[in-house]
Amino acid sequence: MPSPFPGMDPWLEDPNVFPDLHDTMIVYLKEALNTTLPPGYFAAITTIVWVDDTHRSQPDVSVMARSRPVRSSRPDRRGGVAILENPTRLQLLGTRPAIEAETVEEKYLEIRSADGERIVTAIEILSRSNKLAGSAGRRAYLDKQQEFSLGGVNTVEFDFLRAGTHTTAAPRPRLALLRDGPVHYHVCVTEAGEVDRLFGAVFPLHEPLPEIEIPLEPGVPRLVIVLQPLLDRAYDGGRYSMRTDYTRPCTPPLSPEEQAWADGILRARTAPDAEGR
C-alpha cells in the first residue's frame, strides 16, 4: 500500500526513518537512470566520508574545578563525605587506546561517461547532517558542492527535508518566487558551463513529486526521471506504514492548516476499514 499522501510523506522525515529512505531512493534512482541513459553513460553509487565530531555525551557525574580554587581554613561542619582510614588501592590495569571520532559515509550518485569514466552529473539527496548548521556533514557537503562547480560537473540536489539550514545551490528567495506559499521540498539543478545555470522546482505537500530533467553533456538531450513511482516503491519496500505512527505529529510539525489537510487525508484512508469494507 503506498503512502496516503499524494507526494512526499512528511512523516518520512522522522530521524529514525529518513536515513533508510535516503539510501533506498539513491538505489532506485540509479536503477531508473541506468534503464534510460543513452549509450556511453552509466550511473553508479559512490560515497563521501567525513569525521563526525558533533555527537557528544554528557557524563552521569562531573567533577569540575574553578579557575581559581577557593580554600577555607575552617572545617566544614555541615557534614559531607566521610574519609576512609584505609581506602581500597586501585590497581593499574593498563592503558586505553585513544577514542577516535566516528567516521560517517553517505551515498550519492554519479553519472559517468564510459569513455574514461568522466563525471558528468552528480545527484544528491540531502541528509539531515547536510542541513545541520556547523556540523561536519554540512561542511563536507558544501566542500563537495564547490568541488563539482569548479570541476564543471552538473549537479542535481533533492531536498526532501523541511527542517534545517538551506543548503542547495538555489537561493531560497528565488525558490519562494516559484510558487505561492511555503517551500516544502525542492530540487536544484545546476547545469555546468562557462557560466553555471541554475534551475529549480518546488514540490508542495499536496502534489505528486514531478518529473525532473537531468542534464548530461552539451548536445545530449536531458534525461527525464519520474520521481513519484520511486517514492511509492520505497514506501512499500521499506514497510514504512508499519514504522510510522500517523496518530502523532510528524517531525518537524506541520502548520495548523497543513495538519488539518493531513488529518483529512488520513481519515479518508481509514474510513473504508472502519466501515468493514
Amino acid 271: pLDDT: 66
pLDDT band at 65 (very low <50, low <70, confident <90, very high): very low
Amino acid 74: pLDDT: 47
Tell me the three cell numbers of residue 128: 539531515
pLDDT band at 114 (very low <50, low <70, confident <90, very high): confident
Is residue 18 within 8 Å of residue 12, measured between CB atoms? yes
Q: Is residue 120 part of a domain?
A: yes
Dump pLDDT digits (tens) for 154-180: 999 999 999 999 999 999 999 999 988
Could you give the count of Cα atoms lying within 13 Å of 265 in the half-sphere of its Cβ? 17
Where residue 213 sits, what CATH number does that domain have? 3.90.1570
Q: Is residue 232 part of a domain?
A: yes
Helix (H) or strand (E) holding 125: strand 118-125
Burial of 177 (0-12, 13-18, 19+ CB in 10 A): exposed
Quote the mean pLDDT of the chain.
Answer: 84
Radius of gyration of the chain (CA): 26
Q: Is residue 38 part of a domain?
A: yes
Q: Is residue 31 part of a domain?
A: yes
Dump pLDDT digits (tens) for 40-62: 999 999 987 756 655 443 344 43
Total domains present in the chain: 1
Q: Is residue 80 part of a domain?
A: no
Range(s) of the domain holding residue 156: 10-51+102-274
Establish whether the linkage from the previous residue to 252 is cis, with ω within 30° of 0.
Answer: yes
Look up the pTM and report it. 0.80
Q: Is residue 88 part of a domain?
A: no
Calculate the alpha carbon distances from 260 to 13, 210, 264, 267, 272 in Å: 19, 24, 6, 11, 20
Q: Is residue 90 part of a domain?
A: no
Q: Is residue 141 part of a domain?
A: yes
Dump pLDDT digits (tens) for 14-26: 999 999 999 999 9
Amino acid 103: pLDDT: 63
Spatial CB neighbours of 251, under 8 Å, sequence gap ≥ 6: 13, 14, 15, 163
